[in-house]
Structure 1
Amino acid sequence: MENYTYPTFDLTGKKALVTGGSKGIGLAIAAGLAHAGAEVLITGRNEAALREAAEGIKKQGHQIYWKSSDVTLKTEVEKLFEYIDQEFGQIDILVNNAGMNIRKPLVEVEEEDWDKVMGTNLKGIFLVGQQAAKRMIDQKSGRIINISSILGKIGSPLQTSYAASKGGIDQLTKVWAAELAEHDITVNSLAPAYIITPMTEPFLQDEERFEKIINRTMMKRMGRADEMIGPALFFASDASTYVTGQVLYIDGGWTAN
């Protein structure tokens, strides 16, 4: 029998950054990374929300830190990584999660709407990913996990800006994977369907829309934020050392239906 290397999800000693980490998917993944042993820094624009999120994870006995930052501004992102350099000395895992949505019919989308969504969802991913990549190249190791969406693959009404941004994320993931592979850096995307989060709860109050979503999903239910943790740990850990440039759909079977 061959000498196999058995994978582990243990992240002890790893330093992780999660953008948009104060709520929803970002908070769940941050908690999962911390539970697996990583020291986690969450960032976002709302200081009060970040503080509350960090205190909640700390109560579970995990290492968690927070620092406010606006990922749409290059100067803010640079300051964030200067802080990481000083306080953590390295970055092993980036979860590029910060995102937003403005749902409108095509003919009602304003230029400001487009710029706001693209600024957070695509420019923010680029600015943070660029800074992380510079450091990971020097380290000759790293894991970048971009949070995309099934809307980067499928068409859905009222999603002009959001779907375009998520499709862009999937392409960035592939390009970065190709560029960074020689430095032992993997780059992958997690693409969820509708997950119950503070961002999705308001429009899911529409019973007709809710039923359409449920009926389109093989598992006939919404996803939970904590169901993003396992896939994130897979990409963050040594369990996925030969996986890069991939988009993993966490969608209850939506895209296979």
Structure 2
Amino acid sequence: MLDLTGKVAVVIGAASGIGRAIAISLAAQGATVDCGDIDTAGVEETAATIVAAGGTAKATTTDVRLSADVDTLLTGVAAEHGRLDIAVGTPGINIRKPLIDYTDDEYTAVTDVNLRGSFNVLRGAGRIMAVQGSGSIIVISSISSRAVEPGQVIYAGTKAALAQMVRVFGAELGPMGVRVNAIAPGPVETALTVPIRSSSAWADAYSEKVALRRWAKPAEIAGPAVFLASDAASYVNGEVLFVDGGWVDLDANFADEKAVETDTDASA
């Protein structure tokens, strides 16, 4: 059910990290993958890696913030292959600082990639797939859509908004045979998290928040993406799949335990 032979996929954000891992994994399951990213050298390397492994892939320089770039890539792929079965959008940035210290330019930088970029992928792929009557769209949310961490107000806001966009858009496109879902990763070893992982104290602190007591590899996020893209997830729509090693559940359980302790103390 995970076989993607004959499927046509676009992965925007494929130059590195989670996007690169997803592109390679989709191709390994048989999909033809068009890789898009603003990083030309990186996305060409990803496509070359896929081809060297026996897969089929192309690379296109694409700025996810520009709807014209995204639409050109998606419609071009659909025109070339006669269909678009899978569309994945992974780009994301974060500027960690208290909200009161944020500048207008920093706010725009984060929201343009995380929110506008994902909107461009959702809308562009949705328009194509709604007409053809099938398809799977996947974007990347985050545990920050639910977990609270100071210094993450804008990033968390974009990821929470994206989670709700997926739920609503899934409801809109579901009757047309199109599925829309998001993956919410926990801490992953990518370029985005280098500032945290460069400090062993910070890296260890994040590991301790995870039930599995470690960071994820990008490939561990790619597996769930393959699932959501495949027929194995044919009845999964409008969902946010948390792939966080148990971070959010552990947070919730801790909060519940503290609440019980407080109630007990109060009743005594």
Question: TM-score, normalization: structure 2?
Answer: 0.90
Does residue 89 of structure 2 align to residue 83 of structure 1?
no
Residue of 45, 48, 61 corresponding to 2:54: 61
Residue of 153, 163, 175 corresponding to 1:170: 163
Does residue 196 of structure 2 align to residue 200 of structure 1?
no
Q: How does 1:50-199 map to 2 (within 5 A)?
A: 50-199=43-192
Task: Tell me the equivalent position of 1:235.
Answer: 228
Given residue 250 of structure 1, which amino acid in structure 2 is its aligned partner? V
Give, in whole Å, the separation in 1 of the partners of 2:237 and 2:72.
28
CA contact (8 A) 2:24 2:46 kept: no
1:203 Cα deviation (Å)?
A: 2.2
For residue 99 of structure 1, give the secondary structure of its aligned residue in structure 2: coil
CA contact (8 A) 2:10 2:74 kept: no
Q: Deviations over 1:136-195 (max 9, x none)?
A: 011100101111110011111211221111001101100111001101111111000010
Residue of 219, 239, 244 corresponding to 2:237: 244
Higher helix share: 2
Give, in whole Å, the separation in 1 of the partners of 2:146 and 2:16.
25
1:208 Cα deviation (Å)?
A: 2.2
Give, in whole Å, the separation in 1 of the partners of 2:226 and 2:113.
24
CA contact (8 A) 2:84 2:135 kept: yes
For residue 193 of structure 2, give the secondary structure of its aligned residue in structure 1: coil
Name which of structure 1's ranges 94-103 and 198-207 shifts more when overlaid on structure 2: 198-207
Given residue 216 of structure 2, which amino acid in structure 1 is its aligned partner? G
Given residue 3 of structure 2, which amino acid in structure 1 is its aligned partner? D
1:87 Cα deviation (Å)?
A: 2.5
For residue 202 of structure 1, give the secondary structure of its aligned residue in structure 2: helix
Give, in whole Å, the separation in 2 of the partners of 1:60 and 1:173.
33
1:202 Cα deviation (Å)?
A: 3.0
Give, in whole Å, the separation in 1 of the partners of 2:160 and 2:97.
18
Give, in whole Å, the separation in 2 of the partners of 1:94 and 1:251.
22
Larger radius of gyration: 2
Give, in whole Å, the separation in 2 of the partners of 1:131 and 1:214.
37
Give, in whole Å, the separation in 2 of the partners of 1:86 and 1:46.
24
Task: Tell me the equivalent position of 1:3.
Answer: none
For residue 18 of structure 1, give the secondary structure of its aligned residue in structure 2: strand
Given residue 246 of structure 1, which amino acid in structure 2 is its aligned partner? E
For residue 181 of structure 2, give the secondary structure of its aligned residue in structure 1: strand
The number of equivalent residue pairs is 250
Give, in whole Å, the separation in 1 of the partners of 2:208 and 2:30.
38
Given residue 194 of structure 2, which amino acid in structure 1 is its aligned partner? E
Task: Tell me the equivalent position of 1:14.
Answer: 7
Computed over aligned residues only, the root mean square deviation of the Cα atoms, in angstroms, reads 1.2
For residue 200 of structure 1, give the secondary structure of its aligned residue in structure 2: helix
The runs of 5 or more residues in structure 1 that have no matched partner are 1-7
Q: 4+ residue runs of structure 1 moved beyond 6 angstroms?
A: none
For residue 219 of structure 2, give the secondary structure of its aligned residue in structure 1: helix
The runs of 5 or more residues in structure 2 that have no matched partner are 251-268
